[in-house]
């Protein structure tokens, strides 16, 4: 909770920086603030099982704290990476404030206990992102990305709200624990519109995590937004949305899982097939990463679908989010530097191994991790998903996942081949990367490798 308060205060401080003229100091202040928030967040880990605030609106249990930790750590690295994104514009401080408020929403989503905080968290997270997606004012592509994100986001929110209203109508409460109790006590006498409500909530959450067939906005938004904002969307936002998804369906609707697992299985199957085959056909690296994030969404949805002993699925999802977030931060950091001249296609990576060997190595590790090749963390992320899924009746999804992962390996390896085996046609100048950015990219790559070699570091957090 203190972490949440610190980040909110940081957002307000960021807005004051323009007036009191400490713009130059803002980045160090924000980084310190995030470290402090992380420390306070970590201290709450050992206090008790769950402390609830605001009449049980929000409660930080271990699961919430773990997800908040991932989000804060990713955000810390992101802010260092985004250093010069903030410098190139005149409205620096507003961007700081917007990102920080989006973080507040993300933290709320990790630990909501009530449908009100779920809705508010999603909106507090999304509304700043609509602005950030459209933040290149003169660039029509960025405008379009922001607009599409806004329309699709509000459309999904409307579905979410209608779902919430129907569930409220059936159970008479917004509190997810009370909903759970009511549902298990009256499972025979629930009205039909309760089922409709659950399906609408499912659709809305699938929109938010961009799972097929509700993914069509994602490639456009990812491509059009400034690269670093795309990095934020595919790490922090995705982790938060999945934390919320897991909590809502695992805590709130676990008792009626037969109502939604069938729908979710179809969503997973569609996401796996559509995302991997579309990604293989993309030339733009950003679009490829967008489709790759949809296929990762499918894997994370499988964890929710498996819905096994809760500790196992929470563990699996935390490990997956961590592996995916850090791999993506490294990948997007490199994409940002390589595509700076405007060429966003895979051939921009040609000969990167000669032009900047460090970046090429980090990109190779990130790609291997996203593809799920052993010794990187992506492999164990997928392994945990498979162990969770093997006990469920949806084993056919595993076969589909393995086949589509093979297709996935193709487009990740395409980038590696471009870097190591193709020579650049036009120019051979080296790519200069700022020291701080190199540090972030190397560090996140190291984390990807370390938790891949010693998965027990993260995977046993919930061994109860």
Q: Which of 184, 158, 182 is nearest to 170 (CA)?
A: 182
Which of 38, 85, 112, 130 forms a contact with other proteins (CB under 8 A)? Answer: 130
Question: Please, which residue, 76 or 174, has the CB nearer to other proteins?
Answer: 174
Contact between 374 and other proteins by CB under 8 A: the answer reads no
Contact between 116 and other proteins by CB under 8 A: the answer reads yes
306/183 Cα distance (integer angstroms) = 20
Provide the Cα torsion 148, 168, 203, 152; round to 10°.
0
Contact between 252 and other proteins by CB under 8 A: the answer reads no
Q: Please report how close the Cβ of residue 240 comes to other proteins at its closest, in angstroms.
A: 17
165/163 Cα distance (integer angstroms) = 5
Q: Which of 324, 294, 364, 311 is nearest to 448 (CA)?
A: 324
Burial of 453 (0-12, 13-18, 19+ CB in 10 A): middle
Beta bridge partners of 114: 175
Which of 19, 21, 90, 138 forms a contact with other proteins (CB under 8 A)? Answer: 138
* Subset of 279-298 contacting other proteins (CB under 8 A): 284, 287
Yes or no: say if 317 and 306 are a contact pair by the CB < 8 Å rule: no
Annotate 139-152 with three-state secondary structure. Answer: CHHHHHHHHHHHHH
Which of 73, 75, 145, 304 forms a contact with other proteins (CB under 8 A)? Answer: 145
Contact between 53 and other proteins by CB under 8 A: the answer reads no
Yes or no: say if 365 and 373 are a contact pair by the CB < 8 Å rule: no
404/382 Cα distance (integer angstroms) = 13
Contact between 134 and other proteins by CB under 8 A: the answer reads yes
Part of the chain binding other proteins (CB under 8 A), chosen from 35-43, 220-228, 327-335, 361-369 = 220-228
Question: Please, which residue, 97 or 301, has the CB nearer to other proteins?
Answer: 97
Contact between 141 and other proteins by CB under 8 A: the answer reads yes
The pair of structure tokens assigned to 33 is 């603030």
Which of 85, 112, 223, 307 forms a contact with other proteins (CB under 8 A)? Answer: 223
Contact between 395 and other proteins by CB under 8 A: the answer reads no
Question: Please, which residue, 98 or 304, has the CB nearer to other proteins?
Answer: 98
Q: Is 53 helix (H, G, I), strand (E, B) or coil?
A: strand
Under the phi-then-psi rule, with left for phi > 0, alpha for psi from -120 to 50, and beta for the rest, what region is 307?
left
Part of the chain binding other proteins (CB under 8 A), chosen from 73-81, 124-132, 303-311, 358-366 = 124-132
Which of 84, 89, 172, 421 forms a contact with other proteins (CB under 8 A)? Answer: 172
Q: Please report how close the Cβ of residue 283 comes to other proteins at its closest, in angstroms.
A: 9
217/66 Cα distance (integer angstroms) = 29
Contact between 22 and other proteins by CB under 8 A: the answer reads no
Q: Please report how close the Cβ of residue 143 comes to other proteins at its closest, in angstroms.
A: 5
Q: Which residues bind other proteins (CB under 8 A)?
A: 115-116, 119-120, 123, 127, 130-131, 134, 137-138, 140-141, 143-148, 150-151, 154-155, 157-158, 161-162, 164-166, 168-169, 172-174, 193, 219-220, 223-224, 284, 287
């Amino acid at each position: 909770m203190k972490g949440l308060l610190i980040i909110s205060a940081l957002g307000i401080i960021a807005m004051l920086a323009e007036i009191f003229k400490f713009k130059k100091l803002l980045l160090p202040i924000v980084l310190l603030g995030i470290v402090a928030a992380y420390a306070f967040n970590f201290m709450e880990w050992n206090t008790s099982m769950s402390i609830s605030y605001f009449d049980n609106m929000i409660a930080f249990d271990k699961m919430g704290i773990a997800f908040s930790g991932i989000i804060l750590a990713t955000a810390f690295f992101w802010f260092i990476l985004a250093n010069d994104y903030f410098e190139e514009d005149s409205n620096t401080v507003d961007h700081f404030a917007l990102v920080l408020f989006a973080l507040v929403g993300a933290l709320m989503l990790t630990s909501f206990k009530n449908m009100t905080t779920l809705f508010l968290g999603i909106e507090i997270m999304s509304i700043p992102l609509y602005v950030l997606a459209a933040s290149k004012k003169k660039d029509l592509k960025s405008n379009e990305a922001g607009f599409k994100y806004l329309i699709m986001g509000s459309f999904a929110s409307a579905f979410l709200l209608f779902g919430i209203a129907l569930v409220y109508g059936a159970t008479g409460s917004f509190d997810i624990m009370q909903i759970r109790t009511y549902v298990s006590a009256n499972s025979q006498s629930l009205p039909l519109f309760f089922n409709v409500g659950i399906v609408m909530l499912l659709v809305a959450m699938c929109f938010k995590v961009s799972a097929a067939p509700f993914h069509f906005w994602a490639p456009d938004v990812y491509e059009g937004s400034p690269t670093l904002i795309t990095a934020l969307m595919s790490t922090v936002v995705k982790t938060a949305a999945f934390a919320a998804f897991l909590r809502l369906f695992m805590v709130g609707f676990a008792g009626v899982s037969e109502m939604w697992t069938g729908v979710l299985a179809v969503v997973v199957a569609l996401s796996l097939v559509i995302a991997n085959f579309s990604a293989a056909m993309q030339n733009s690296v950003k679009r490829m990463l967008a489709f790759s994030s949809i296929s990762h969404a499918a894997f994370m949805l499988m964890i929710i679908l498996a819905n096994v002993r809760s500790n196992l699925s929470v563990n699996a999802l935390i490990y997956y989010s961590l592996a995916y977030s850090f791999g993506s931060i490294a990948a997007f950091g490199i994409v940002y530097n390589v595509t700076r001249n405007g060429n966003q296609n895979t051939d921009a990576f040609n000969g990167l191994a000669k032009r900047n060997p460090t970046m090429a190595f980090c990109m190779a590790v990130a790609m291997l991790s996203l593809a799920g090749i052993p010794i990187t963390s992506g492999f164990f992320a997928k392994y945990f998903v498979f162990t969770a899924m093997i006990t469920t009746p949806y084993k056919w999804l595993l076969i589909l996942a393995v086949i589509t992962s093979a297709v996935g390996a193709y487009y990740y390896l395409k980038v590696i081949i471009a870097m190591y085996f193709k020579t650049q046609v036009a120019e051979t100048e080296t790519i200069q990367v700022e020291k701080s950015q190199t540090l972030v990219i190397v560090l996140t790559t190291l984390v990807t490798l370390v938790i891949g070699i010693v998965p027990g570091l993260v995977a046993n957090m919930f061994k109860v």
